[in-house]
Amino acid sequence: MRIQNSYLPVSGVGETREQRLWEAGLYEWAEFSPKRAPVGPKTTEAIESFISEASVALDDADTKFFQSRLPSSELWRIYENVRSEALFFDIETTGLDARRNTITTVSFYQGNDTTTLVRDDTLTEESLRTMFANAPLIISFNGAQFDVPFIETNYSLDIDTPHLDLRYPCKQVNLTGGLKSIEQAVGISRDLEAVDGRDAVRLWYQYERENDDF
DNA sequence: GGCCTGCCGCTTCTTCCTAC
DNA sequence: GTAGGAAGAAGCGGCAGGCC
């Protein structure tokens, strides 16, 4: 599934009409034909107008265009279009409260590169701004509720990059129970199975103590 | 344990399609 | 052209669930 296969961003088209369009053989925007479309003239006009605008947005890699037109639970439809530039991220903190606790590390994965920003070293407002601004799509697990608000509270940032929070697509396919259990369900193993978020806090303070010794 | 986003179910209204 | 039905949009409140 690429965004060119989707008609959901069109106003007046829901899953039922999109399904009918596919059944009529109109699997891609390029194949769209008013004569074959199983929709009325108004909807046809809306689809043609959308395709015209969306083609430009696609050429410009303007993912915000699609974010504003897709239901948030369907944002995954643009992933294949920006796969190599999509920015996966996760934060570690000293606790759950963004006002009382601080971010210790922020890790990013983009293309085949992993970058970790560390507090009191490479983790700065500017480095975060650069990472998020250069991505067409950011991806996290529960980041909409935890990671992004935490970053925005701790730094003067307003992260408006289109954000795919995997928690909700996972839930739609009955993958629930937290990141760890989902990883197990889909066959992803960790090098450090026994380490959880609380351990991350403990390890951070240990790291700080050892750094102070130097 | 604090936070809060997004989902869900429901209702109402509008728009559009289809058959006659 | 009209009527009935289908589908989508919008708005609302309540709440589940996951983050470290």
DSSP chain A: --GGG--TTSTT--HHHHHHHHHTT--SGGG--TTT-SS-HHHHHHHHHHHHHHHHHHHTT-HHHHHHHS-GGGGGGGHHHHTTT-EEEEEEESSS-TTT--EEEEEEEETTEEEEEETTTT--HHHHHHHHHT-S-EEESSTTTTHHHHHHHHSS----S-EEETHHHHHHTT--S-HHHHHHHTT---SSTT--HHHHHHHHHHHHHHHHT-
Over the stretch A14-59, which tens digit does the pLDDT of each residue have? 766 777 777 777 888 888 877 777 777 767 777 887 888 888 888 8
Extract the tokens encoding A174: 């009955």
Nucleotide nearest to A19 (CA to C1'): C7
Within 7 Å of a protein beta carbon, the nucleotides of strand C are 6-9, 17-20
Question: Lowest-pLDDT range, A13-22, A148-157, A170-179, A203-212?
Answer: A203-212
Instruction: Report the mean per-residue pLDDT for chain A.
Output: 78
User: Which class for A47: exposed (0-12), middle (13-18), buried (19 or more C-beta within 10 A)?
Assistant: buried
pLDDT, position A139: 86
pLDDT, position A194: 53
Q: Is the CB of A25 under 7 A from strand B?
A: no
Confidence (pTM):
0.81
pLDDT, position A212: 61
Within 7 Å of a protein beta carbon, the nucleotides of strand B are 1-8, 15-18
Extract the tokens encoding A48: 């043609």
Nucleotide nearest to A39 (CA to C1'): B17
The more confidently predicted of residues A191 and A100 is A100
Extract the tokens encoding A30: 């390029």
pLDDT, position A112: 86
> How many Å apart are A141 CA and B4 C1'?
15
Nucleotide nearest to A198 (CA to C1'): C20
Q: What angle do CA A45, A47, A48 make, to 5 degrees?
A: 65
A190: pLDDT strictly greater than 80: no
Of the pLDDT bands very low, low, confident and very high (cuts 50, 70, 90), residue A5 is: confident
User: Which class for A11: exposed (0-12), middle (13-18), buried (19 or more C-beta within 10 A)?
Assistant: exposed
> How many Å apart are A42 CA and B20 C1'?
22
Identify the residue whose Cα has the smallest distance to the C1' of B2: A97
